[in-house]
Chain A
Amino acid sequence: MAITCPYRPSHADPIAHVEISVCEQRLLENMEGGVAYENDLNLKATELRLGLPGTDCTKEEQAVSGARNNKRPLKETSEECRAKGKSDAPHDDQGTATAPKAQIVGWPPIRSYRKNNLQPKKAEAEAAAGMYVKVSMDGAPYLRKIDLKVYNGYPELLKALENMFKLTIGEYSEREGYKGSEYAPTYEDKDGDLMLVGDVPWDMFLSSCKKLRIMKGSEARGLGCGCETDLDFLMQHVSTCSGINRFIAYEKYVTFQSDLDVQEMSSMIF
């Protein structure tokens, strides 16, 4: 029963959180030598193994340590967070040199925090011209920032998001939202509504988008275009929502199909 941070934003992936607890448990277990030993004196039991994880260890431990890697994004991405969208990925040292001399990783030895916070005047000027919005992804602990002005349209923006978060978003269709992956890019507009990226023309999107959020999992799947979806899809959406979202989904549903068995629906909601 791990103590957890109560103030984490609600869209943080609960699965990622469980991973930590499991890891922590494993660490504790291992510390206490808690791998069970039998009572009789058998050699294997008394032998302290010095093997690397993955050789003698159980597969489970491997999976856990592997899963743990997925939890946090790459360091370079977190620094891009600081660089306000400049693609100054420090790991790109192998020959992608735009400067006259190829940039070497970690040289000169200045901490990236200092490097990225050092030319505020320039950054300010660019910020004034650019349109920076925050991008959050469900399950990722770091927020990112991108400059929407840099992109000419949705395809470019989506490609950039895919590159940034190392995932595929899939194809947009008006009817069904983003098919082909478990991620869906959404945004919050001026009125605070959650919209699917691509629903409105690009210019309107530029002027109204306040922040981006890449949703994951079933919540993403359910975010279609609203009431034009068929019954099963909507039922599924309703069942995955909770609280107020469920109610809103139900409302949308009721206005669309008035001859439904209300009883059946309400049993799902309440």
Chain B
Amino acid sequence: MITNKKPRSSDTDSNYMRDDRTEMSEDDDRSPPSDSITNDSCPTRNCTPGSGSGSSSIPEYLAPYPDQVLENVLENVLWFLTSRKDRNAASLVCRSWYRVEALTRSDLFIGNCYAVSPKRATSRFSRIRSVTLKGKPRFADFNLMPPNWGAHFAPWVSAMAKAYPWLEKVHLKRMSVTDDDLALLAESFSGFKELVLVCCDGFGTSGLAVVASRCRQLKVLDLIESEVSDDEVDWISFFPDTETCLESLIFDCVDCPIDFDALERLVARSPSLKKLRLNRSISIGQLYHLMVRAPQLTHLGTGSFSPSEDVAHVEQEPDYVSAFAACKSLVCLSGFREIIPDYLPAIYPICSNLTSLNFSYANISAEQVKPIISNCHKLQIFWVLDSICDEGLQAVAATCKELRELRVFPIEAREDIEGPVSEVGLQAISEGCRKLQSILYFCQRMTNAAVIAMSKNCPDLVVFRLCIMGRHRPDDVTGEPMDEGFGAIVMNCKKLTRLAVSGLLTDRAFAYIGKYGKIVRTLSVAFAGDSDMGLKYVLEGCPRLQKLEIRDSPFGDAALLSGLHHYYNMRFLWMSTCKLSRQGCQQIAQALPRLVVEVIKHEDNVDMEEVVDTLYMYRSLEGPREDVPQFVSILEDRHMKEGALMWKTDISARCWTTIRSVCIVNVRWVINAKYAQHMHGPYTFSGNVVVQVHVGDPLAHRVGFHWMRIPILKDMYGSDHISILVLLELISLMVKAKLIVKVGSDCAFE
């Protein structure tokens, strides 16, 4: 018996660039920083230790039995476990731990919304306070996926509305959210505190209005790079007239005009407001008024940073410098959507405090950025346009010794132009910013030498994303492929987990990645490689690989098949415009029943059935999804369709390393009709169960199917019905103990 206690409330993410943080935080290691434990969560226990004869019997309580005490202890201990990876591991110890872990988990993270169903998630975890859901794969951002592909929030919010009435936080990335979903969310969760929508679409200002008006406890409303349609509803004025709890209001991507007076009043009655990022309808004059109202801000997005058109220029302009100077806590600055560089000096007073500066929408030159950046000694995160040229980057390198993250975006995203930044800028940064951990660099030309220099100068690199915009461009000086540069990165940067490659690359580059990239989790490949060997190197060499996205590279079926041993350990694989055939993808589907293999057709390619335009595949406990649009076909194991039952279990990914997959075949004659209706519940088996076990040998790259018949006798509680979980645990033990050695073809099922 677990006593009924209030789950801990989740925290707000205090990092600046939220989408960047989610890009960097992968499945396992990073866990959200935990709140300090409130008084509630550790009550003194009202039960006596098991060994007691003199149990102080409080009339309401029965004296607990020893196992229960252990469970109580366990529950208390598990509260402290915040890392998802640790929790997943703990849940596999035994049933008791599984159950208690499920009861004590308060943050639900689902990296692929189609990997589990809402029902399964809500059945297992009953006390969730915070949900993070990710939908579409990243390449969907670049129009590589037709619209209406899926990732709908609707089934999730419906399920959560019933299961988690105390839900406080929802964080979505690349999901389709409708106004009705937002309305349901606002209606269902009375204590709702945080809504963060990153790269989402499908909703408009009317949805925001509902959230603003109904979520009275709202602390965080962050809309980051999402598409928000203009329903001509002034959502800002829907916040209640009373003082609000708002701590963070980020709406720089909402491209609709705002009633400024309503916004000003809102800011005035939000004393806790720390983060405010305005959209570009806000002029610098309006910004001034807001800053005066909210000098306590720590994060500010400045809006347009230019005057509105109807302001007469002869009027005296407010003292912007003093407004910035008054914001003594300001550490993070962004915006500058339509910057008039003359106003830049206004930010001088706070430069020395800044840890994060985002100029990535500001078309400013090296001369204009130098006076700013030369004061930013504490800067850790810097996003900028390549308009500052190599010279501007040199200025950054000279001053920003604490720089952890740099992103250089192109002003003109084209291939055939000269380009203002080059290997010179990269070299300078590598020499000046030794603590660099993450870099995203767009350029037109690059050399191996500069990349090698960075690999040596910046050993802390975790994320290295270099985009040489000219496809297949070699080293600008030597004319050689960029293999050695990227090779040096994986070799020297021992902490590297995310890599994006570009330029002219042969299979050799991939051989390096396979050989040295042992902790790489995310790999993005475009227009690279010579043959199947390239992909094979990666699939065979990178055991931690979870997200692999490839476009326009010459990898075919043979390469795809070489990854069979690994696909269950990955979140997804994306391959578009490669050399895959339908047959090859079908083989994968056949071998790995727990993989959903989606083949997406491009619009203009209606005839060629055999050629696969886009392959998107991911592990899932649910099988093919229900909401498939007509341009997607899901390939399935043909054998499984005939008379077989696919089982859905809660076995976590870790189990897959021992058993490749387990499919219960022809169990119809065991299950009676009563269970047939509860396909998602915990099943039990009795009698004989015939099991098809897929096992793989990673070194030999073989995948085999083994049939076995397991007679179910009794479980540890003396019942002759056991649950699927126990069954699979049993099989896993048998595999480990090498009891399963014989391939059986004499199974008695018909």
Chain A interfacial positions (CB closer than 8 Å to B): 2-9, 17, 20-21, 23-24, 26-28, 30-33, 37, 39-41, 43, 45-53, 65-66, 68-69, 72, 74-76, 78, 81-82, 90-91, 94, 99-101, 103-115, 117-121, 124, 134, 141-143
Contacts and interface: CB of A to CB of B under 8 A. Distances in A.
Interface stretch (B152-160, B239-247, B326-334): B152-160
Contacts of B158: 24, 27-28
Interface string B170-205: 000000001110111001100000000001011010
A27 B668 CA distance: 26
A32 to B, nearest CB: 7
Nearest to A54: B630
CB-based closest 7 A-B pairs: A106-B142, A5-B179, A75-B147, A7-B206, A120-B338, A5-B183, A46-B676
A107 B141 CA distance: 11
Nearest to B149: A75
B119 A31 contact: yes
Given A3-B184, A46-B671, A118-B361, A51 B227 contact: no
A69 B631 CA distance: 10
A31 B180 contact: no
B146 A75 contact: yes
Interface in B143-167: 143-144, 146-148, 152, 154-155, 158-159
Q: Which of A21, A37, A52, A82 has the most CB of B within 10 A?
A: A52
B180 A50 contact: no
Interface stretch (B373-381, B537-545, B564-572, B638-646): B638-646
Given A7-B233, A43-B668, A124-B338, A33 B677 contact: yes
Nearest to A56: B641
Interface in B401-434: 409-411, 413-416
Interface string B1-35: 00000000000000000000000000000000000
B139 interface: yes
A117 B118 contact: no
Contacts of A45: 673, 676
Given A8-B204, A105-B142, A109-B467, 8 more contacts: A3-B180, A4-B183, A5-B207, A41-B676, A75-B143, A82-B255, A105-B144, A117-B280
B338 A115 contact: no
5 contacts: A27-B152, A27-B158, A72-B147, A75-B146, A78-B227
B636 A50 contact: yes
Contacts of B324: none
A39 B672 CA distance: 10
A27 to B, nearest CB: 4
Nearest to A73: B147
B723 to A, nearest CB: 18
Given A8-B231, A50-B623, A121-B363, A66 B630 contact: yes
Contacts of A30: 626
Nearest to A94: B604
A128 to B, nearest CB: 9
A125 to B, nearest CB: 12
B641 A101 contact: no
Interface in B336-353: 337-338
Given A24-B154, A31-B118, A114 B409 contact: yes
Given A32-B119, A76-B143, A113 B227 contact: yes
Contacts of A81: 229
A53 to B, nearest CB: 6
Q: Which of A45, A66, A106, A114 has the most CB of B within 10 A?
A: A106
Contacts of A68: 148, 627, 629
B624 interface: yes
Contacts of B527: 107
A147 to B, nearest CB: 17
B627 A27 contact: yes
B673 A108 contact: no
Contacts of B206: 5, 7-9
Contacts of A143: 229-231
A26 B626 contact: yes
Contacts of A120: 280, 304, 337-338, 361, 363
Contacts of A106: 139, 142-144, 551
- Dominant secondary structure at the A interface: loop
B368 to A, nearest CB: 14
A178 to B, nearest CB: 25
A53 B738 CA distance: 41
B180 A37 contact: no
Nearest to A140: B229
Interface in B639-697: 640-641, 643, 645-646, 668, 671-673, 676-680
A124 B148 CA distance: 32
A89 to B, nearest CB: 10
B116 to A, nearest CB: 11
Contact of A47 (B231, B337, B645): B645
Contacts of A94: 604
Size band of the B side of the interface? Answer: 35 or more
B253 interface: yes
B673 A46 contact: yes
Contact of A20 (B143, B178, B280, B409): B178
A231 B210 CA distance: 43
B471 interface: yes
B528 interface: no
Given A53-B626, A72-B202, A5 B180 contact: yes
Contact of B231 (A9, A21, A75, A118): A9
B210 A141 contact: no
A108 B229 contact: no
Contact of A27 (B155, B603, B679): B155
A95 to B, nearest CB: 11
Contacts of B578: none
B621 interface: no
B640 A101 contact: no
A23 B154 contact: yes
A105 B471 CA distance: 13
A107 B526 contact: yes
A110 B413 contact: yes
A118 B187 CA distance: 37
A141 B202 contact: yes
B628 interface: yes
Contacts of A41: 672-673, 676
Contact of B673 (A24, A40, A119): A40
Contacts of A48: 645-646, 679
Contacts of A82: 255
B119 A119 contact: no
B117 A65 contact: no
B209 interface: yes
A52 B143 contact: no
Nearest to B146: A75
A81 B231 CA distance: 13
B516 interface: no
Nearest to A36: B677
A191 B654 CA distance: 67
A119 B410 contact: no
A31 B413 contact: no
A45 B673 CA distance: 8
